[in-house]
Structure 1
Amino acid sequence: MYVELGKIVGVWGVKGWIKLHSYTRQRADIGQYETWYLQAPRSKDEPSPISVLNCREQGQGMVAQFDGVNDRDQAQAFNGQRILVKQSDLPPLPDGEYYWQQLIGLTVSNADNTIGTIKSILETGANDVLVCKSINDGEPEILIPYTDEVVLEVDLGQGTMTVDWDPSYLLD
Protein backbone atom coordinates (compact mmCIF):
# COMPACT_ATOMS: atom_id res chain seq x y z
CA MET A 1 0.00 0.00 0.00
CA TYR A 2 1.22 3.49 -0.87
CA VAL A 3 0.79 6.90 0.74
CA GLU A 4 0.80 10.08 -1.35
CA LEU A 5 3.32 12.61 -0.01
CA GLY A 6 3.35 15.16 -2.81
CA LYS A 7 3.29 15.87 -6.52
CA ILE A 8 5.66 17.08 -9.19
CA VAL A 9 4.70 20.57 -10.35
CA GLY A 10 7.42 21.49 -12.85
CA VAL A 11 11.10 21.48 -13.71
CA TRP A 12 13.91 23.47 -12.14
CA GLY A 13 17.01 24.47 -14.05
CA VAL A 14 18.58 22.66 -17.00
CA LYS A 15 20.22 19.69 -15.24
CA GLY A 16 17.12 17.53 -14.77
CA TRP A 17 15.83 18.72 -11.41
CA ILE A 18 12.08 18.76 -10.71
CA LYS A 19 9.97 21.15 -8.62
CA LEU A 20 7.55 19.50 -6.24
CA HIS A 21 4.80 20.27 -3.78
CA SER A 22 5.20 18.37 -0.51
CA TYR A 23 2.14 17.34 1.52
CA THR A 24 4.20 16.45 4.60
CA ARG A 25 3.65 18.62 7.70
CA GLN A 26 7.27 19.76 7.51
CA ARG A 27 7.71 20.06 3.75
CA ALA A 28 11.37 18.97 3.83
CA ASP A 29 10.40 15.62 5.42
CA ILE A 30 9.58 14.27 1.96
CA GLY A 31 13.33 14.27 1.30
CA GLN A 32 14.04 11.58 3.90
CA TYR A 33 12.84 8.84 1.53
CA GLU A 34 15.49 7.51 -0.87
CA THR A 35 12.94 5.88 -3.17
CA TRP A 36 9.74 7.50 -4.39
CA TYR A 37 7.05 5.76 -6.41
CA LEU A 38 5.66 7.93 -9.19
CA GLN A 39 2.20 7.58 -10.67
CA ALA A 40 0.14 9.67 -13.06
CA PRO A 41 -3.02 11.17 -11.53
CA ARG A 42 -6.03 8.81 -11.69
CA SER A 43 -3.83 6.03 -13.09
CA LYS A 44 -4.57 2.44 -12.14
CA ASP A 45 -1.05 1.36 -13.18
CA GLU A 46 1.40 0.23 -10.51
CA PRO A 47 3.58 3.18 -9.38
CA SER A 48 7.13 3.22 -10.75
CA PRO A 49 10.06 3.43 -8.30
CA ILE A 50 12.69 6.10 -8.77
CA SER A 51 15.82 6.80 -6.71
CA VAL A 52 16.09 10.29 -5.24
CA LEU A 53 19.67 11.60 -5.30
CA ASN A 54 18.93 14.97 -3.73
CA CYS A 55 15.90 16.76 -2.33
CA ARG A 56 15.97 20.17 -0.72
CA GLU A 57 14.08 23.37 -0.04
CA GLN A 58 14.55 26.02 -2.71
CA GLY A 59 13.03 29.40 -1.91
CA GLN A 60 9.37 28.86 -1.07
CA GLY A 61 9.29 25.38 -2.64
CA MET A 62 11.08 22.07 -2.93
CA VAL A 63 13.29 20.64 -5.68
CA ALA A 64 14.66 17.15 -6.24
CA GLN A 65 17.08 15.31 -8.49
CA PHE A 66 16.44 11.75 -9.69
CA ASP A 67 19.02 9.13 -10.57
CA GLY A 68 19.45 8.98 -14.36
CA VAL A 69 17.56 12.22 -15.08
CA ASN A 70 20.13 14.68 -16.40
CA ASP A 71 18.35 17.28 -18.48
CA ARG A 72 15.27 19.46 -18.52
CA ASP A 73 13.44 17.41 -21.17
CA GLN A 74 13.79 14.20 -19.15
CA ALA A 75 12.55 16.01 -16.03
CA GLN A 76 9.57 17.48 -17.89
CA ALA A 77 8.26 13.95 -18.52
CA PHE A 78 7.55 13.64 -14.75
CA ASN A 79 5.42 16.79 -14.52
CA GLY A 80 2.09 16.16 -12.78
CA GLN A 81 3.09 12.78 -11.34
CA ARG A 82 2.00 11.88 -7.82
CA ILE A 83 4.82 11.15 -5.34
CA LEU A 84 4.12 8.04 -3.27
CA VAL A 85 6.04 6.04 -0.70
CA LYS A 86 5.30 2.60 0.68
CA GLN A 87 3.24 2.78 3.84
CA SER A 88 5.71 0.36 5.44
CA ASP A 89 8.49 2.96 4.89
CA LEU A 90 6.76 5.57 7.07
CA PRO A 91 8.40 6.00 10.46
CA PRO A 92 6.45 4.48 13.36
CA LEU A 93 4.48 6.90 15.52
CA PRO A 94 4.15 6.91 19.31
CA ASP A 95 1.06 5.26 20.79
CA GLY A 96 -2.04 7.39 20.33
CA GLU A 97 -0.70 9.22 17.26
CA TYR A 98 -1.90 8.48 13.73
CA TYR A 99 -1.13 9.42 10.17
CA TRP A 100 -4.04 11.28 8.58
CA GLN A 101 -4.45 8.59 5.94
CA GLN A 102 -5.09 6.05 8.74
CA LEU A 103 -8.07 8.11 9.95
CA ILE A 104 -9.73 8.69 6.56
CA GLY A 105 -12.68 6.30 6.22
CA LEU A 106 -13.16 5.60 9.94
CA THR A 107 -16.76 5.49 11.18
CA VAL A 108 -17.30 8.17 13.81
CA SER A 109 -19.77 7.65 16.68
CA ASN A 110 -20.62 9.35 19.93
CA ALA A 111 -22.17 7.64 22.96
CA ASP A 112 -25.62 7.55 21.32
CA ASN A 113 -25.33 7.59 17.53
CA THR A 114 -23.20 6.95 14.49
CA ILE A 115 -22.33 10.40 13.18
CA GLY A 116 -20.65 9.63 9.85
CA THR A 117 -17.42 8.71 8.08
CA ILE A 118 -14.19 10.73 8.06
CA LYS A 119 -13.81 12.12 4.54
CA SER A 120 -10.82 14.44 5.06
CA ILE A 121 -8.93 16.42 7.68
CA LEU A 122 -8.31 20.16 7.74
CA GLU A 123 -5.26 21.76 9.31
CA THR A 124 -6.49 24.98 10.95
CA GLY A 125 -3.55 26.05 13.07
CA ALA A 126 -5.21 25.75 16.49
CA ASN A 127 -6.12 22.09 15.95
CA ASP A 128 -6.94 19.74 13.11
CA VAL A 129 -10.60 19.32 12.15
CA LEU A 130 -12.22 16.06 10.98
CA VAL A 131 -14.56 16.50 8.00
CA CYS A 132 -17.23 13.80 8.23
CA LYS A 133 -19.80 12.74 5.68
CA SER A 134 -23.08 12.43 7.54
CA ILE A 135 -24.83 9.06 7.63
CA ASN A 136 -27.98 10.97 6.59
CA ASP A 137 -28.00 11.66 2.85
CA GLY A 138 -28.44 15.32 2.02
CA GLU A 139 -27.13 16.52 5.38
CA PRO A 140 -24.16 18.90 5.36
CA GLU A 141 -20.66 17.74 6.26
CA ILE A 142 -19.98 17.58 9.98
CA LEU A 143 -16.86 19.28 11.33
CA ILE A 144 -15.38 17.78 14.50
CA PRO A 145 -12.31 19.17 16.31
CA TYR A 146 -9.50 16.62 16.48
CA THR A 147 -8.49 17.24 20.10
CA ASP A 148 -7.83 15.00 23.09
CA GLU A 149 -10.98 16.35 24.75
CA VAL A 150 -13.21 15.38 21.80
CA VAL A 151 -11.61 12.21 20.41
CA LEU A 152 -12.06 9.53 23.06
CA GLU A 153 -10.93 6.40 21.22
CA VAL A 154 -9.50 5.34 17.86
CA ASP A 155 -9.71 1.67 16.90
CA LEU A 156 -7.99 1.16 13.56
CA GLY A 157 -8.69 -2.58 13.65
CA GLN A 158 -12.44 -2.00 13.92
CA GLY A 159 -12.34 1.09 11.68
CA THR A 160 -14.00 3.28 14.31
CA MET A 161 -13.53 6.49 16.26
CA THR A 162 -15.52 7.42 19.35
CA VAL A 163 -15.98 11.12 20.06
CA ASP A 164 -17.56 13.35 22.68
CA TRP A 165 -19.37 15.48 20.11
CA ASP A 166 -23.04 16.10 19.47
CA PRO A 167 -23.78 17.55 16.02
CA SER A 168 -26.69 19.99 16.20
CA TYR A 169 -28.78 18.06 13.65
CA LEU A 170 -28.99 15.15 16.11
CA LEU A 171 -30.82 17.43 18.57
CA ASP A 172 -33.96 17.85 16.41
Structure 2
Amino acid sequence: MTPEPADDQVVVGVVTGAFGLNGDVKIELHTPSPERFSPGNQLLLDGQPTIVERMRAERNHLVVKLDLIPDRDKAESLGGHLLTIPEEKLNPLPDDQFYHFELLEMSVYSDDDVLLGAISEIITTPGNDVYVVQKAGFRDLLLPALASVVLDVDVARKRMTVRLLEGLEQVEATISKRKRRAERRRANIAKATSVSETDTAQPNTNPGGLRMPIVSHSENEVPWRPNYRKWDITQSDDGTTSSSMAYSVIGVGAGAPLHTHEADELIVVLEGVLEVRINDEIHQVGPDHTIVVPPNVPHGFTIVGDSDARILGFFPIQDPFHHTHYLEGGPANQNEE
Protein backbone atom coordinates (compact mmCIF):
# COMPACT_ATOMS: atom_id res chain seq x y z
CA MET A 1 0.00 0.00 0.00
CA THR A 2 1.32 3.45 -0.93
CA PRO A 3 1.73 5.64 2.19
CA GLU A 4 -0.37 8.80 2.28
CA PRO A 5 1.63 12.05 2.59
CA ALA A 6 1.55 13.85 5.94
CA ASP A 7 -0.69 16.89 6.21
CA ASP A 8 2.31 19.23 6.09
CA GLN A 9 3.78 17.53 2.98
CA VAL A 10 3.13 18.51 -0.65
CA VAL A 11 3.48 16.00 -3.51
CA VAL A 12 5.97 17.11 -6.20
CA GLY A 13 6.26 13.83 -8.09
CA VAL A 14 5.00 10.25 -8.41
CA VAL A 15 7.19 7.24 -9.25
CA THR A 16 5.67 5.60 -12.34
CA GLY A 17 8.20 2.83 -12.91
CA ALA A 18 11.79 1.68 -13.15
CA PHE A 19 14.21 2.87 -15.84
CA GLY A 20 17.31 0.86 -16.69
CA LEU A 21 19.20 -1.50 -14.39
CA ASN A 22 20.83 0.89 -11.89
CA GLY A 23 17.87 2.05 -9.79
CA ASP A 24 16.74 5.03 -11.87
CA VAL A 25 13.00 5.72 -11.78
CA LYS A 26 10.56 7.54 -14.02
CA ILE A 27 8.85 10.47 -12.30
CA GLU A 28 5.53 12.07 -13.20
CA LEU A 29 5.88 15.74 -12.25
CA HIS A 30 3.38 17.33 -9.87
CA THR A 31 5.20 20.64 -9.63
CA PRO A 32 5.80 23.56 -12.01
CA SER A 33 9.41 23.59 -10.76
CA PRO A 34 11.31 20.58 -12.19
CA GLU A 35 14.50 22.07 -10.74
CA ARG A 36 13.39 20.55 -7.43
CA PHE A 37 14.80 17.32 -8.89
CA SER A 38 18.22 18.82 -9.62
CA PRO A 39 21.16 16.73 -8.35
CA GLY A 40 21.96 17.42 -4.71
CA ASN A 41 18.43 18.45 -3.74
CA GLN A 42 16.68 16.66 -0.89
CA LEU A 43 13.16 15.25 -1.25
CA LEU A 44 11.06 12.90 0.83
CA LEU A 45 10.22 9.43 -0.53
CA ASP A 46 7.31 8.06 1.48
CA GLY A 47 8.39 10.48 4.22
CA GLN A 48 12.05 9.37 4.21
CA PRO A 49 14.73 11.96 3.23
CA THR A 50 16.48 11.12 -0.04
CA ILE A 51 19.04 12.95 -2.18
CA VAL A 52 18.79 13.33 -5.97
CA GLU A 53 21.96 11.90 -7.53
CA ARG A 54 21.13 12.54 -11.19
CA MET A 55 18.24 13.67 -13.34
CA ARG A 56 17.37 14.08 -16.98
CA ALA A 57 14.20 15.22 -18.69
CA GLU A 58 12.35 12.99 -21.14
CA ARG A 59 9.36 13.99 -23.27
CA ASN A 60 6.63 13.31 -20.69
CA HIS A 61 8.54 12.58 -17.49
CA LEU A 62 11.83 12.83 -15.63
CA VAL A 63 14.34 10.02 -15.15
CA VAL A 64 15.80 10.38 -11.65
CA LYS A 65 18.31 8.46 -9.51
CA LEU A 66 17.71 8.73 -5.75
CA ASP A 67 20.19 7.54 -3.14
CA LEU A 68 17.49 5.44 -1.42
CA ILE A 69 17.00 3.30 -4.55
CA PRO A 70 20.10 1.12 -5.12
CA ASP A 71 18.89 -1.15 -7.93
CA ARG A 72 16.13 -2.01 -10.38
CA ASP A 73 14.39 -4.42 -7.99
CA LYS A 74 13.86 -1.62 -5.48
CA ALA A 75 12.81 0.78 -8.26
CA GLU A 76 10.19 -1.67 -9.55
CA SER A 77 8.67 -1.96 -6.07
CA LEU A 78 8.01 1.79 -5.82
CA GLY A 79 5.48 2.31 -8.63
CA GLY A 80 2.86 4.81 -7.42
CA HIS A 81 4.91 6.00 -4.44
CA LEU A 82 5.11 9.71 -3.70
CA LEU A 83 7.89 12.26 -3.58
CA THR A 84 7.09 15.22 -1.36
CA ILE A 85 8.53 18.37 0.17
CA PRO A 86 7.50 20.19 3.36
CA GLU A 87 4.76 22.74 2.69
CA GLU A 88 6.99 25.45 4.17
CA LYS A 89 9.39 25.04 1.21
CA LEU A 90 6.78 25.93 -1.40
CA ASN A 91 7.57 28.90 -3.61
CA PRO A 92 5.13 31.79 -3.04
CA LEU A 93 2.58 32.28 -5.83
CA PRO A 94 0.82 35.41 -7.12
CA ASP A 95 -2.57 36.15 -5.53
CA ASP A 96 -4.48 34.70 -8.51
CA GLN A 97 -2.59 31.39 -8.62
CA PHE A 98 -2.97 28.35 -6.39
CA TYR A 99 -1.36 24.99 -5.80
CA HIS A 100 -3.44 21.97 -6.77
CA PHE A 101 -3.54 20.60 -3.22
CA GLU A 102 -5.18 23.86 -2.10
CA LEU A 103 -8.02 23.39 -4.63
CA LEU A 104 -8.72 19.65 -4.41
CA GLU A 105 -11.93 18.88 -2.48
CA MET A 106 -12.80 22.59 -2.52
CA SER A 107 -16.56 23.30 -2.67
CA VAL A 108 -17.67 25.06 -5.86
CA TYR A 109 -20.64 27.45 -5.94
CA SER A 110 -22.27 29.30 -8.81
CA ASP A 111 -22.46 33.09 -8.69
CA ASP A 112 -26.09 32.75 -7.54
CA ASP A 113 -24.91 30.66 -4.55
CA VAL A 114 -25.91 27.18 -5.78
CA LEU A 115 -23.61 24.33 -4.70
CA LEU A 116 -22.24 22.65 -7.85
CA GLY A 117 -20.11 20.06 -6.08
CA ALA A 118 -16.46 19.67 -5.10
CA ILE A 119 -13.25 19.58 -7.13
CA SER A 120 -12.22 15.93 -7.42
CA GLU A 121 -9.50 16.24 -10.04
CA ILE A 122 -7.48 18.88 -11.86
CA ILE A 123 -6.61 18.21 -15.51
CA THR A 124 -3.51 20.03 -16.70
CA THR A 125 -3.55 21.15 -20.35
CA PRO A 126 -1.07 23.30 -22.30
CA GLY A 127 -3.30 26.40 -22.06
CA ASN A 128 -5.03 26.21 -18.68
CA ASP A 129 -6.08 23.77 -16.00
CA VAL A 130 -9.55 22.21 -16.06
CA TYR A 131 -11.34 21.54 -12.76
CA VAL A 132 -13.44 18.37 -12.56
CA VAL A 133 -16.40 19.09 -10.25
CA GLN A 134 -18.35 16.11 -8.93
CA LYS A 135 -21.80 16.04 -7.35
CA ALA A 136 -23.94 13.01 -6.61
CA GLY A 137 -26.65 12.50 -9.22
CA PHE A 138 -24.98 14.74 -11.82
CA ARG A 139 -22.46 14.29 -14.59
CA ASP A 140 -18.97 15.62 -13.92
CA LEU A 141 -18.78 19.35 -14.60
CA LEU A 142 -15.57 20.48 -16.32
CA LEU A 143 -14.65 24.08 -15.55
CA PRO A 144 -11.76 25.78 -17.37
CA ALA A 145 -9.48 27.76 -15.03
CA LEU A 146 -10.16 31.06 -16.77
CA ALA A 147 -10.80 34.50 -15.24
CA SER A 148 -14.16 34.64 -17.05
CA VAL A 149 -15.25 31.46 -15.23
CA VAL A 150 -13.52 31.48 -11.83
CA LEU A 151 -14.69 34.58 -9.96
CA ASP A 152 -13.30 33.99 -6.48
CA VAL A 153 -11.18 31.45 -4.60
CA ASP A 154 -11.17 31.44 -0.81
CA VAL A 155 -8.53 28.93 0.26
CA ALA A 156 -9.19 29.40 3.98
CA ARG A 157 -12.91 28.57 3.55
CA LYS A 158 -12.25 25.93 0.85
CA ARG A 159 -14.79 27.69 -1.39
CA MET A 160 -14.70 28.66 -5.10
CA THR A 161 -17.27 30.85 -6.83
CA VAL A 162 -17.72 30.46 -10.59
CA ARG A 163 -19.80 31.83 -13.43
CA LEU A 164 -21.37 29.13 -15.61
CA LEU A 165 -20.97 30.31 -19.18
CA GLU A 166 -23.20 28.97 -21.95
CA GLY A 167 -22.54 25.26 -22.37
CA LEU A 168 -21.26 24.75 -18.82
CA GLU A 169 -24.64 24.02 -17.23
CA GLN A 170 -24.79 21.13 -14.79
CA VAL A 171 -26.59 18.09 -16.23
CA GLU A 172 -28.27 15.28 -14.34
CA ALA A 173 -26.64 11.88 -14.81
CA THR A 174 -29.34 10.38 -17.02
CA ILE A 175 -28.71 7.99 -19.91
CA SER A 176 -28.86 9.83 -23.24
CA LYS A 177 -31.31 8.77 -25.92
CA ARG A 178 -28.44 7.95 -28.27
CA LYS A 179 -26.69 5.79 -25.69
CA ARG A 180 -29.95 4.03 -24.83
CA ARG A 181 -30.51 3.18 -28.52
CA ALA A 182 -26.92 1.93 -28.84
CA GLU A 183 -27.30 -0.26 -25.76
CA ARG A 184 -30.50 -1.79 -27.14
CA ARG A 185 -28.78 -2.54 -30.47
CA ARG A 186 -25.82 -4.14 -28.71
CA ALA A 187 -28.16 -6.27 -26.58
CA ASN A 188 -30.04 -7.46 -29.68
CA ILE A 189 -26.78 -8.38 -31.43
CA ALA A 190 -25.54 -10.28 -28.37
CA LYS A 191 -28.84 -12.17 -28.13
CA ALA A 192 -28.80 -13.11 -31.80
CA THR A 193 -25.19 -14.33 -31.80
CA SER A 194 -24.92 -15.96 -28.36
CA VAL A 195 -23.83 -19.61 -28.15
CA SER A 196 -25.00 -21.77 -25.24
CA GLU A 197 -22.76 -24.15 -23.38
CA THR A 198 -24.60 -27.13 -24.89
CA ASP A 199 -24.10 -26.06 -28.52
CA THR A 200 -21.66 -28.13 -30.55
CA ALA A 201 -18.95 -26.38 -32.54
CA GLN A 202 -19.25 -27.08 -36.28
CA PRO A 203 -16.75 -26.41 -39.08
CA ASN A 204 -17.28 -23.02 -40.72
CA THR A 205 -18.69 -23.98 -44.11
CA ASN A 206 -19.73 -20.42 -44.95
CA PRO A 207 -16.85 -18.02 -44.37
CA GLY A 208 -18.57 -15.59 -46.74
CA GLY A 209 -21.34 -15.27 -44.17
CA LEU A 210 -19.11 -13.24 -41.89
CA ARG A 211 -20.41 -9.69 -41.69
CA MET A 212 -18.08 -6.97 -42.96
CA PRO A 213 -20.33 -4.06 -44.00
CA ILE A 214 -19.43 -1.58 -46.72
CA VAL A 215 -20.87 1.74 -45.53
CA SER A 216 -22.06 4.56 -47.76
CA HIS A 217 -21.05 7.97 -46.46
CA SER A 218 -24.42 9.37 -47.59
CA GLU A 219 -26.38 7.25 -45.10
CA ASN A 220 -27.03 7.79 -41.37
CA GLU A 221 -27.00 11.60 -41.40
CA VAL A 222 -27.63 13.04 -37.93
CA PRO A 223 -28.83 16.58 -37.10
CA TRP A 224 -25.90 18.67 -35.95
CA ARG A 225 -25.26 22.41 -36.33
CA PRO A 226 -26.28 25.05 -38.87
CA ASN A 227 -24.15 24.75 -42.02
CA TYR A 228 -22.57 21.59 -40.55
CA ARG A 229 -23.70 18.21 -41.95
CA LYS A 230 -22.58 15.04 -40.19
CA TRP A 231 -22.96 11.33 -41.00
CA ASP A 232 -22.20 8.53 -38.55
CA ILE A 233 -20.22 6.02 -40.61
CA THR A 234 -20.12 3.39 -37.88
CA GLN A 235 -23.16 2.12 -35.99
CA SER A 236 -23.28 -0.38 -33.15
CA ASP A 237 -25.58 -2.62 -35.22
CA ASP A 238 -22.96 -3.05 -37.97
CA GLY A 239 -20.74 -5.10 -35.66
CA THR A 240 -18.48 -2.26 -34.49
CA THR A 241 -17.58 -2.76 -30.83
CA SER A 242 -14.81 -0.35 -29.85
CA SER A 243 -14.52 2.58 -32.25
CA SER A 244 -16.54 5.20 -34.09
CA MET A 245 -16.11 7.35 -37.16
CA ALA A 246 -18.05 10.25 -38.63
CA TYR A 247 -17.91 12.06 -41.98
CA SER A 248 -18.74 15.78 -42.06
CA VAL A 249 -19.22 18.52 -44.64
CA ILE A 250 -18.89 21.95 -43.05
CA GLY A 251 -19.54 25.36 -44.57
CA VAL A 252 -17.24 28.38 -44.34
CA GLY A 253 -17.71 30.12 -40.99
CA ALA A 254 -19.18 27.05 -39.29
CA GLY A 255 -17.34 24.68 -36.98
CA ALA A 256 -17.23 23.39 -33.40
CA PRO A 257 -17.04 25.45 -30.19
CA LEU A 258 -14.42 24.83 -27.51
CA HIS A 259 -14.97 21.38 -25.96
CA THR A 260 -13.22 18.29 -24.63
CA HIS A 261 -13.60 14.52 -25.08
CA GLU A 262 -12.69 11.79 -22.60
CA ALA A 263 -10.92 9.82 -25.36
CA ASP A 264 -8.44 10.49 -28.14
CA GLU A 265 -9.81 12.11 -31.31
CA LEU A 266 -8.31 12.07 -34.81
CA ILE A 267 -9.59 14.61 -37.34
CA VAL A 268 -8.53 13.88 -40.92
CA VAL A 269 -8.87 16.90 -43.23
CA LEU A 270 -9.93 15.79 -46.73
CA GLU A 271 -10.82 19.20 -48.24
CA GLY A 272 -10.89 22.81 -47.11
CA VAL A 273 -9.03 24.66 -44.36
CA LEU A 274 -9.74 24.49 -40.61
CA GLU A 275 -8.66 27.20 -38.20
CA VAL A 276 -8.10 25.02 -35.15
CA ARG A 277 -8.02 26.34 -31.60
CA ILE A 278 -6.23 24.17 -29.04
CA ASN A 279 -6.40 26.03 -25.74
CA ASP A 280 -5.03 29.47 -26.66
CA GLU A 281 -3.08 28.32 -29.74
CA ILE A 282 -4.44 28.85 -33.28
CA HIS A 283 -3.39 26.67 -36.25
CA GLN A 284 -4.58 26.55 -39.85
CA VAL A 285 -4.82 22.97 -41.10
CA GLY A 286 -5.45 21.94 -44.71
CA PRO A 287 -5.94 18.72 -46.70
CA ASP A 288 -3.68 15.70 -46.18
CA HIS A 289 -3.20 16.57 -42.51
CA THR A 290 -4.53 14.94 -39.34
CA ILE A 291 -5.28 16.76 -36.10
CA VAL A 292 -4.45 14.60 -33.08
CA VAL A 293 -6.37 15.62 -29.96
CA PRO A 294 -5.48 13.84 -26.68
CA PRO A 295 -8.17 13.23 -24.04
CA ASN A 296 -9.49 16.25 -22.09
CA VAL A 297 -7.64 18.86 -24.18
CA PRO A 298 -9.93 21.85 -24.94
CA HIS A 299 -10.23 22.36 -28.70
CA GLY A 300 -12.52 23.75 -31.38
CA PHE A 301 -12.37 24.85 -35.00
CA THR A 302 -13.85 27.12 -37.66
CA ILE A 303 -13.82 26.63 -41.44
CA VAL A 304 -11.94 29.44 -43.21
CA GLY A 305 -11.09 30.16 -46.83
CA ASP A 306 -13.32 30.02 -49.89
CA SER A 307 -14.74 26.49 -49.84
CA ASP A 308 -16.51 23.97 -47.62
CA ALA A 309 -14.45 21.48 -45.65
CA ARG A 310 -14.78 17.71 -45.60
CA ILE A 311 -13.38 15.84 -42.62
CA LEU A 312 -13.33 12.40 -41.02
CA GLY A 313 -13.46 12.15 -37.25
CA PHE A 314 -12.29 8.98 -35.48
CA PHE A 315 -12.60 7.92 -31.82
CA PRO A 316 -11.37 4.67 -30.19
CA ILE A 317 -14.69 4.36 -28.31
CA GLN A 318 -18.36 4.10 -29.22
CA ASP A 319 -20.79 6.97 -28.64
CA PRO A 320 -17.99 9.51 -28.03
CA PHE A 321 -20.30 12.52 -27.81
CA HIS A 322 -21.89 11.10 -24.69
CA HIS A 323 -18.46 11.78 -23.17
CA THR A 324 -18.09 15.31 -24.60
CA HIS A 325 -18.01 18.41 -22.42
CA TYR A 326 -18.71 21.77 -24.08
CA LEU A 327 -16.85 24.74 -22.64
CA GLU A 328 -18.53 27.36 -24.82
CA GLY A 329 -21.69 25.89 -26.38
CA GLY A 330 -23.10 22.53 -27.48
CA PRO A 331 -24.43 21.24 -30.82
CA ALA A 332 -27.90 22.00 -32.02
CA ASN A 333 -29.13 18.61 -30.75
CA GLN A 334 -27.28 18.74 -27.42
CA ASN A 335 -30.46 17.57 -25.64
CA GLU A 336 -29.58 14.19 -27.15
CA GLU A 337 -26.21 14.07 -25.38
TM-score by length of 2: 0.42
Deviation at 1:129, TM superposition (A): 1.4
Shift in CA distance, 13/123, structure 1 to aligned 2, threshold 3 Å: same
After superposition, the Cα gap between the structure-2 partners of 1:77 and 1:169, relative to the gap in structure 1 and judged at 3 Å, is closer
Q: CA–CA distance in 1 between the matches of 2:105 and 2:68?
A: 38
Contact 1:155 1:161 in 2 (8 A): yes
CA shift, 1:53, in A, is: 2.6
Q: Secondary structure at the match of 1:85?
A: strand
Aligned residues: 159
Q: CA RMSD in A?
A: 2.7
Q: Which amino acid aligns with 1:131?
A: V
Which consecutive unaligned segments of at least 5 residues does structure 1 have?
Answer: 40-46
* Residue 31 (structure 1) aligned to one of 21, 28, 37: 37
| Partner SS state of residue 88, structure 1 | helix
1:90 equivalenced with 2:90 (yes/no): yes
| 8 Å contact from structure 1 (residues 107, 118) kept in 2 | yes
Query: Contact 1:37–1:49 at 8 Å: present in 2 too?
Result: yes
Once the two structures are TM-superposed, the CA of residue 98 in structure 1 deviates from its matched residue by 0.5
Cα deviations by residue, 1:116-172 (Å, 9 ceiling, x for unpaired) = 1111111233432111112xx2211111121011111111111111111162449xx
Q: Aligned AA for 1:154? A: V
- State how far apart, in whole Å, the 2-side matches of 1:5 and 1:66 are: 14
Which of the two has higher C-alpha Rg? 2
In the TM superposition, what are the counterparts of 1:110-121 in structure 2 within 5 Å? 110-112=110-112, 113-121=114-122
Larger RCO (alpha carbons 8 Å, 6+ apart): 1
Mapped partners of 1:75, 1:127: distance in 2: 33
Quote how far apart the aligned CAs of 1:75 are: 4.6
1:20 to 5, 17, 27: 27
Partner SS state of residue 134, structure 2: strand
User: Structure 1 CA distance, aligned partners of 2:119 and 2:68?
Assistant: 40
Q: Note the C-alpha offset of 1:17.
A: 3.0
- Alpha-carbon distance change, 59 to 96 in structure 1, aligned in 2, over 3 angstroms: closer
Give aligned-pair identity as a percent.
28
Q: C-alpha displacement at 1:49, in angstroms?
A: 1.6
Q: 1:54 to 1:149 in 2, by over 3 A?
A: same
Mean Cα deviation higher: 3-12 or 73-82: 73-82
Question: More strand per residue: 1 or 2?
Answer: 1
